[in-house]
Amino acid sequence: MNEDERATVLITKANGDRVPFDPKKLEQSMRRAGANQSQITEIVDQIQTELVEGLKTQKIYRKAFDLLRVKSKGIAARYKIKKALFELGPAGYAFEKFLAEVYRNQGYEARTNLYLNGKCIQHEMDVVVENDDEIQYIECKFHNSAGAKTDVRTPLYLKSRFDDIQAGNKSAKLHRSVLVTNTRFTQDAIKYGMCVGIVMISWDHPEVGNLKDLVEKSGLHPITSLSSLNSKQKKLLIDQGILLCRDLEKHEGALMNIGLSANKIKTMHREVQLLMQAG
C-alpha cells in the first residue's frame, strides 16, 4: 500500500464512526508517552504496512502498545494510560478515588463519596475538593466502553443538585460544579454545561486542561498501567485501596498475599521504576 492509498484508508473508531487514518495522532500519543522520534517512526511505519479498510482503532492501539513494550515497558505503560483508566472499572469508585489523588497532587484537600445537605434535600457527591479559595463539587461519569458518551442528562442532573447544595451551604469561597468523564461528552452536554457554568472535563475536552492533561501533569499512574500484574491481581489490590504505582513499595505484604513471588515483585518494581523514568 503506497502513501496515497494509506491516506484514504478508513479506520473504525470505538463509537462505530469511520475516519481516515491519521498517523500524526498516533505519533503525538506516543510522543506524549515519552517515545523518541526513532521509535515513533519505526512503529508508525510498521502499523501502516498492516492497515486494512475498517481496521478498529483498538487494534491499532494494541499493536502500537505491543511494539512500544518491546522497546520500553515504562513508555508503553504511559502510552496505556487511557486504557488503564478503563481498567479501574467496572464500577466507578476506583476512578473517583484516583481522580481525588490527582487533585490532592495539585494541593487540594479531597474527599470522596460524601453526603451533603442542600437547602431542600441531601445529595451524594462523588468527589469534593477544596483549597483556600474554592470548593469544587465533582460528579464522575465512568464508562466501561470507549465509544460511550456522557449526554446532556448528566449535566442537567448535576446542575439541579449543585444549586441545592450551594443554596444550603453559604461560604465565602468560590463554589464550582465539575463534571468529569473518562470518555467524551455529546455536543449538547458540552453546550449546556458551558452555558450554566459547569466545568466540563472529558478525555480530550477542553483542549487544555482535559483529563489526559490532568493525569499526565500529575505524574500519577494507576496500577492498571502495569503489564507485570494480571487483571485479577490488579483487582485484588484495588479492592484493598491500593491504586497508585508509587504506593506499591509500601505494600510488600499485600503483594505477597495476592500470590506474587519475590522475583515477580522485583520485576514489577522495575517496571514501576521505568514508568517513572519515562515521565
pLDDT value of position 3 = 56
pLDDT value of position 245 = 94
Q: pLDDT tens track of the chain, all 279 residues?
A: 555 555 578 999 888 889 999 999 899 989 988 899 999 999 999 999 999 999 999 899 989 999 998 988 888 888 889 999 999 998 899 999 999 999 999 999 999 999 999 999 999 999 999 999 999 999 999 999 888 999 999 999 999 999 999 999 888 899 999 999 999 999 999 999 999 999 999 999 999 999 999 998 998 999 999 999 999 999 999 999 999 999 999 999 999 999 999 999 999 999 999 888 765
User: What angle do the packed helices 57-71 and 37-49 form, to 10 degrees?
Assistant: 140
Q: Judging by beta carbons within 10 Å of its beta carbon (0-12, 13-18, 19+), is residue 119 exposed, middle or buried?
A: exposed
**DSSP assigned state of 56:** B
> What does the block give as the cell for 158?
448535576
Options 1.10.1060, 1.10.150, 1.10.10, 1.10.3470; CATH for 222-278 is 1.10.150
pLDDT value of position 2 = 52
Phi, psi (5° rounding) for residue 194?
Answer: -65, -35
Among the listed residues 99, 74, 66, 82, the one whose alpha carbon sits nearest the alpha carbon of residue 276: 74
Task: Find the Cα–Cα–Cα–Cα dihedral 37, 40, 42, 44, rounded to 10°.
Answer: -140
pLDDT value of position 32 = 86
Which residues are registered as beta bridge partners of 129?
A: 110, 136
pLDDT value of position 274 = 86
pLDDT value of position 279 = 59
CATH 3.40.1350.10 correct for 93-218 = yes
| Domain range list for the chain | 3-71, 93-218, 222-278
